Amino acid sequence: MSKFIEIKNLSFSYPGDSQNPCVPVLHDINLEIDKGEFVAILGRNGSGKSTLAKLLNLILVPSSGTVSVGGKLLSSDMSEEEIIEVRKCIGMVFQNPDNQLVATVVEEDIAFGPENLGVEPEEIRRRVDQALEIVGMTEFAKHSPHQLSGGQKQRIAIAGIIAIMPECIVFDESTAMLDPHGRKEVMRTIETLNREKGITVITITHNMEEAVCADKVVVIDHGTIVKQGSPKEVFSRPEELWGLGLSVPQVTELFDMLRCLGAELPEGVISEEEGAQLLFELLRS
C-alpha cells in the first residue's frame, strides 16, 4: 500500500486565557497511514483524538509540524479552492448524525454535498443512488431522515459523505450514541467501505470490539502516541491499556483472567471466534 497521510512532529495548542495563553493538546505526533488502511485511534477523553482528526482536513491548523495528504502539504496559506479539495479528499462523520442532516428528505440530504461542489445533476443522481446502495438504505430514499432510527440516521450521514467521493473517511465517535444494533449496522457499513471500496478509514472510538476490526491501532494519551501496531500487538498487554484508563476486548480480558487462574492459554486473543475455538479445545482436552 502507498503512503496516504503523513504526520511529522505535529503539535497543537488551543488559545487560552490571560494566565495561560495557550492550552497544549498534541505533542510531537508522528504517524503514517497507508492508502486503503483501516486505522483505529484510541484514548481516554481529552487525550487529543478528535483534535488530531480535525487537523487532517484543515478544520484546525497545526501549531507546529506538518500534515501531508496524498503528497500535498496542508497549510493555513491554502486558497479556499485548495481547502475544498482537501475536504473532498477527507470526509468526516461525527458522533451525532442529527448535526449532519440538513434536508427533510433522505435523498436530498445526500445530494447536498455534491450540489455545493457544483457537480452536474445527472452525476449527483448517480452518486446519491450509489451511496444509498452502499449503506443499504435505498428503500428509504424518500423518507424523512428525522423519522429514522439512530443507526439509520448515521448510515444516511455516511452516505452524504460517500456522495462527495472522498478517498478517506474519518469517523469521530460515530457509534457512541447508538444501541448495539445500530452500532453493528454502522460498523458493517464502515467495513464495506474499507474492504470492498478501498476507502481509507480512520475511526476514533472507545469501543474495543470496533478497534479489533482495524489494520492498525493507535493509542494516544495526554496528546502523545504511546502505542501503535496491529490489534493483536496492542491488545496483547491488557495491563498497559488499563494503566492508560482504557479497556480491552471482552474476550481478551476473559483470557487474561483465565491465565491468571492457571489455564494454559495464549496471549493476544482478540476475536470472539478465536476465543470460542480455544476454549472448546481447552475443555475437550
Residue 124 sits in a domain whose CATH number is 3.40.50.300
pLDDT band at 266 (very low <50, low <70, confident <90, very high): confident
In a domain, 260, yes or no: no
Q: Residue 39: which domain range? A: 3-248
Q: Residue holding cell 477523553?
A: 45
Whole-angstrom Cα distance, residue 54 to residue 106? 26
> pLDDT higher for 249 or 18?
249
Domain contains 262: no
> 149-203: per-residue pLDDT in tens?
988 998 999 999 999 989 999 998 888 877 888 888 888 888 988 999 899 999 9
pTM for the predicted model, two decimal places: 0.88
Rounded-to-integer distance, Cα 129 and Cα 283, Å: 50
Number of domains in the chain: 1
Residue 18 belongs to a domain: yes
How many contiguous H segments (helices) and E segments (strands) does the chain have? 11, 10
Give the pLDDT confidence of 134-144 residue by residue, as tens digits: 888 999 999 99
Rounded to whole angstroms, the Cα distance separating 26 from 225 reads 9
Average pLDDT over residues 1-15: 91
Which grid coordinates are listed for 274? 478465536
